[in-house]
Structure 1
Amino acid sequence: MSVMGGSLTGVMTYINVGYGNTFYSDWLSSFLAALILMPAGLLLMGLITKFVAQWLPNTNAHARNLVTGGVMACMMESIMAFSTTANTLGFSSSADFLTGWLFSFLAALPLGLALMVVMSLTVKPKIELYLKS
């Protein structure tokens, strides 16, 4: 989770402010905000998993995990893009904030989708087995 949050907030910070003198401090504060959101992400993953299981009851576990991963990637990245943009650009201009949020979300989306697919197909099933035992 730390690797995911660190890499995604790094991409988002770079998109918002570029690589300059304050990049590392901006990235670190955005990363710490993402770490605070991680427990909410785990709770959200459980809720989405239940919803997808009810919505797609006749599909195999891999397909449901891929759907869960895609939805999770979009939702968590949206939240991380919001907190990173708020941290780096602030709310002084709503147009700048919205543009920064959208660009950082779209720039990090391919990486987020790739990481969530790997997590959904490898880590998530192991966590579910552990919780069932």
Structure 2
Amino acid sequence: MHDTNLSNSQQSPTPLWLKVLLVTSLMSTIAGTLTGVMTYMNLGFSELFFSQWLSSFLFAATTAMPAGFVFMTLFTKLIKYLTPNLKAVMQNLIVGLLMAITMEALLAFITTTNNLGLSNSAFFTTWFDAFIVALPVGLVIMLVVSNTVKPKIERILTS
């Protein structure tokens, strides 16, 4: 008789292309949302908004998103090492906070650089405004992702 209840060890591993698609989709949604908020803070809603947002998003997709994957891995390992007795949900909360702050700062830098250029005298204040306004959005996204999506993604990536 054929056993239809396969254990996890007997299930086929998740294909690499599906893992890449999953992580890329999640990161694109987050980066797209945050660069949109930041572009709005930099320029307001004008005729340049969509082209500047797309440009910022593509810049973020090629720089910040790969960096985010590295940061997530490093922060997760660091927090597990520093707080081995802390429950996983608390470790994920700390990683989420670190990721939100780090990625917000990086995305604000990328977006402001794209929209104004580094030599603009208002660069720092514009970067800071974009960072502060988008930070609550980033915190909510990263806390939700860290405690709900991240554990599921980790299981898929290790399968």
TM range, smaller chain: over 0.9
1:109 alignment partner, one of 114, 125, 135: 135
**Quick check: 1:84 aligned with 2:102?**
no
Structure 1 residue 131: Cα displacement? 3.6
Counterpart of 2:84 in structure 1 is 57
- In the comparison of the two structures, how many residue pairs are matched? 132
Task: Give SS of 2:122's match.
Answer: helix
Gaps of 5+ in 2: 1-26
- Superposed CA RMSD in Å reads 1.1
Post-superposition offset of 1:4:
0.8
The aligned amino acid for 2:50 is: Y
Aligned match of 1:18? 44
Query: Quick one: which of 122, 126, 129 aligns to 2:152?
Result: 126
Q: Following the alignment from structure 1 to structure 2, what is the Cα–Cα distance between the partners of residues 92 and 132?
A: 44
Aligned-partner Cα distance in 2 for 1:22–1:112: 24
Q: What letter matches 1:114 in structure 2? A: V
- Structure 1 unaligned residues grouped into runs of 5+: none
Task: Please give the alpha-carbon distance, in whole angstroms, between the structure 2 residues aligned to 1:106 and 1:56.
Answer: 29
Percent pairwise identity? 52
Q: In structure 1, which of residues 74, 93, 115 is the aligned counterpart of residue 101 of structure 2?
A: 74
Q: Under a length normalisation based on structure 1, what TM-score does the superposition of the two structures give?
A: 0.94
Pick the structure with greater CA Rg: 2
